[in-house]
Structure 1
Amino acid sequence: MTARDVKDILGARVLVGEDHLEVEVRSACGSDMMSDVLAFSKDHSVLLTGLCNPQVVRTAEMLDIVCLVFVRGKKPDDAMLEMARERNLIVMATGHRMFSACGMLYSAGLHGGAI
């Protein structure tokens, strides 16, 4: 699956990284707790979260997460978007709740796997 597929499935808006949408996404993680995301630690994944702070971008960079999707209509501020742009991260936003967004991606074949 590509990041463009994630965008289409979730009806998401791309906030940063429009030119990187063909990147492969192999798995997904949904969490507002970055400690849980750190335990997930899979590369080429998408992170779904409602947490809007710079730690999300830093965590994504550490784990080779290629795409951030902010759920529940959350929108990161300009400083976070600039951090993501500098790190070549794709950032999207969707109005779906996290449970629904994760379920939609899972149904489309994107799995998280066991820790």
Structure 2
Amino acid sequence: MLWIGGVLMPEPKVGGLTVTKNKIWSKNAGRAADGNMVGDIVGIKYKLDIQWSYCKPADVQKIDAAVSGAAFFSVRFVDPGTGQEVTRNFYAGDPKYPVHTYAMGGGRYKGVSVSLIEQ
């Protein structure tokens, strides 16, 4: 389950949630003269790449309100490394809303996606 700003989001498509743990290195990190990597990891930040299959307008509106309404927001998700739910503060990249059709009374969207990056 994925919660953004305290709101339960529609279920991502199968295989549509990728959790990345980005290592944040110290300022002095890099390659030394002998070619070996030096530096320290000062933190780990999450990135969530999320994609939904077919979305109805109400689903798209819920997603858009969650990722476009504030600069930073809380996200609750399962950390694959521990299997436990974690809550962190994130900001959103540019959401994409591919229109599948406007037929069928109000439109359908296919492949709605957004990247969330931990603050």
TM bucket (normalised to shorter chain) is under 0.3
TM-score w.r.t. the length of structure 1 is: 0.22
Greater Cα radius of gyration, structure 1 or 2: 2
Bigger proportion of residues as helix:
1
TM-score w.r.t. the length of structure 2 is: 0.22
